[in-house]
Amino acid sequence: MIPNANSLSEKSAKIVLAEPAETLFDRIINRLRLEKRILSIKRRIVIFSACSLVSAAIFVQVFKITWAGFSASGFGQFFSLLFSDFRIVAGQWQNFLWSLLESLPITDLILFLLVTWILFQSLKSLAKNLKNILTARVYSGD
């Protein structure tokens, strides 16, 4: 049986007249915004992962340098006097403190603290972005 021309035009008219849901446009735009946000977070995760790895590697080297600086300066030997000869240190506490400060490897210590701060900041940012991407995925239904 050959379909009637009128019945075909009525069916196509019904298809053409069907309108999308009112919230469809908003849902599409919101999903595009979410995907853009997730892409931005993924980029930051890559950047902060690289920063964390590099700063961890630098941290190890700077720790070795700082340890060598403390060993070479004699700081540990002066500091151990606090426990072995406390009475003498208590009597000459001002001279003892000056000796400790003079033997402290300041530049190595500043470098160590700076690298440690950078490492912790990059790890904090990495953790924050990982939390954001997991939260975004939970809300998006992925």
What is the reported pLDDT for 136?
Answer: 74
Q: pTM here?
A: 0.69
At a CB cut-off of 8 Å and minimum separation 6, what does 139 contact?
34
Q: What is the residue-level pLDDT of the chain in tens, covering all 142 positions?
A: 555 555 555 665 555 556 778 888 999 999 899 889 889 888 989 999 999 999 999 999 999 999 999 989 888 888 888 889 889 888 988 998 998 999 899 999 999 999 999 999 999 999 998 888 888 766 655 5
Convert the pLDDT of each residue in 101-113 to its tens digit. 998 999 999 999 9
Q: Tokens representing 70?
A: 């403390």
Write down the pLDDT at residue 47: 93
Look at residue 85 in the predicted model and tell me its pLDDT.
87
The stretches of 19-105 forming alpha helices (DSSP H) are 24-73, 75-84, 86-91, 93-103
Q: Where are the chain's structural domains? A: 29-140
